[in-house]
Structure 1
Amino acid sequence: MLVVQDEPTVAEVISAYLRAAGYLVVVAADGATGLELVRRLKPDLVVLDTALPGLVLDRFHAELCADAGPLLLTLTGPAPGDAPRRFSPRELVVRVRRALLDDGVAAEPGNPVLVDGDLVANRDTRLVSKCGRELVLTDREFELLCFLMQHPGRTWRRDELARGAWDREDTAAVLSTVRALRERIEQDPARPSRLVTVWGVGYRFDPDGRA
């Protein structure tokens, strides 16, 4: 699919979420390039930023509608005043999946992708990204992170985490693995907001970092 977006950071985040969901993504930074890629690549779907400078929407719609062209999803344009544009990458992935299913383009995938805000873990590809940037995790770190993300808000003892994530009694490794994960996924590892300690019990994964 094609993402037409002129803000590099936004384009990177969108692409990371869609790729983690199993889609092949190409990015265009402006409308003219986007139209050229539509003609050349014939993507199944286009994710379009309608606030692109100089973009003639009528021309883009006409191009996509010609010869039963690709599906079109648009991102919201600028908010009133000076408020920044906001969108949810997680919601975008859901919209993409629903649009392709409704059009008969793609079958519903299982659900290998775990998403929490800017944190994405794909259990099929074993890739993890934060803010669109890939994180390098050990197998042990990956398995513990996925286990926690699959059970948000629940408090686990160390022995439960060891058995649930690794199917072994290795409680000593839980502490070091939690510390390593915090260095990678927390904005401030010294004050974790996602992978939090429940004193006297164990650990809990708080979605969207809401401790």
Structure 2
Amino acid sequence: MSAACGTREGAVRVLIVDDEPELAELLSWAAVEAGWQPFLARDGHSALALARGCAPHAVVLDWMLPDLDGLRVLRTLRYENAKLPVLMLTARDALEHRLDGLSAGADDYVTKPFSVEEVMLRLRGLLRRTGAEAAEGESVRVLGDLVLAEKTRQVRRGGESIALTAKEFDLLCFLMSHPRQVLSKAQILNHVWSSSFESEGNLVEVYVYSLRGKIDKGRAPMIHTVRGAGYVIRAASQGR
């Protein structure tokens, strides 16, 4: 399978790695029903290529694969992204096997045979823990590795929590509501503050600078200045 993938804007991406076609398709269908975007891999090498190309929010990983075993894939995933949630699937239910999986970095462990509902519930729990999916009734915006939960006003990037002031949060929410769209200072003032602030010439610049320092610091930039036009937010992988 190619590493190329078409990601859906704002979707929670789940990588499913299993060489049993029927089981993989069943899990994929369940992921779609949950509102997520699934990606399927039948072997370890394809799984690693997809993980690098599509930046999944979580991985469902079978232990027994035709090339690399699940533990080797897990260790590589952990080395490349220490915070990526991984749910292991296996027919091995002995205690030592569970300990091997958990010590290699698995976040959870489900033995076969299992119900798809159980896998989905455990996966949803992992996604909530990392902020990729919020509790029922929560409105969540996702752009690349940046996650914003409107109801709880929480922001995470790469799984790490970011503390914002009230106006910084409102500004980020407005930007993320219009990904890849250049927004003028006037538009930002009108939506984040009010028309009464139009005379405050550098208000937007000050807040964008502050927000950029928290969102982009030490990471690939997402918030960009378009000279003479305004500001735009893009997933880091989309470049400038």
TM-score category (smaller protein): 0.5 to 0.7
Deviation at 1:166, TM superposition (A): 2.8
Residue 203 (str. 1) matches residue 203 (str. 2):
no
Q: What are structure 1's unaligned runs of at least 5 residues? A: 16-30, 37-48, 76-88, 98-105
Deviation at 1:34, TM superposition (A): 10
Q: TM-score, normalising length from structure 2?
A: 0.47
Cα RMSD for the two superposed structures: 4.7
Is the 8 Å Cα contact of residues 144 and 166 (structure 1) preserved in structure 2? no
Distance 1:115 1:134 in 2: 14
Counterpart position of 2:204 = 174
Is the 8 Å Cα contact of residues 183 and 229 (structure 2) preserved in structure 1? yes
Distance 1:13 1:180 in 2: 28
Distance 1:169 1:116 in 2: 31
Residue 113 (str. 1) matches residue 143 (str. 2):
no
- C-alpha distance after superposition, 1:31-81 (max 9, x if no partner): 859979xxxxxxxxxxxx89x599xx9x8113x34xx97135999xxxxxx
Q: RCO (CA 8 Å, sep 6+): is it higher in 1 or 2?
A: 1
Q: How many residues align?
A: 148
Is the 8 Å Cα contact of residues 156 and 204 (structure 1) preserved in structure 2? yes
Counterpart position of 1:71 = 119
Is the 8 Å Cα contact of residues 143 and 234 (structure 2) preserved in structure 1? no
- C-alpha distance after superposition, 1:181-205 (max 9, x if no partner): 111111458xx73211111121111
Is the 8 Å Cα contact of residues 113 and 122 (structure 1) preserved in structure 2? yes
Distance 1:33 1:138 in 2: 47
Question: Are the structure 2 counterparts of residues 12 and 200 from structure 1 closer, same or farther at C-alpha, using a change threshold of 3 Å?
Answer: same
Deviation at 1:175, TM superposition (A): 0.8
Distance 1:131 1:150 in 2: 19
Q: TM-score, normalising length from structure 1?
A: 0.52
Is the 8 Å Cα contact of residues 157 and 202 (structure 1) preserved in structure 2? yes
Deviation at 1:210, TM superposition (A): 2.2
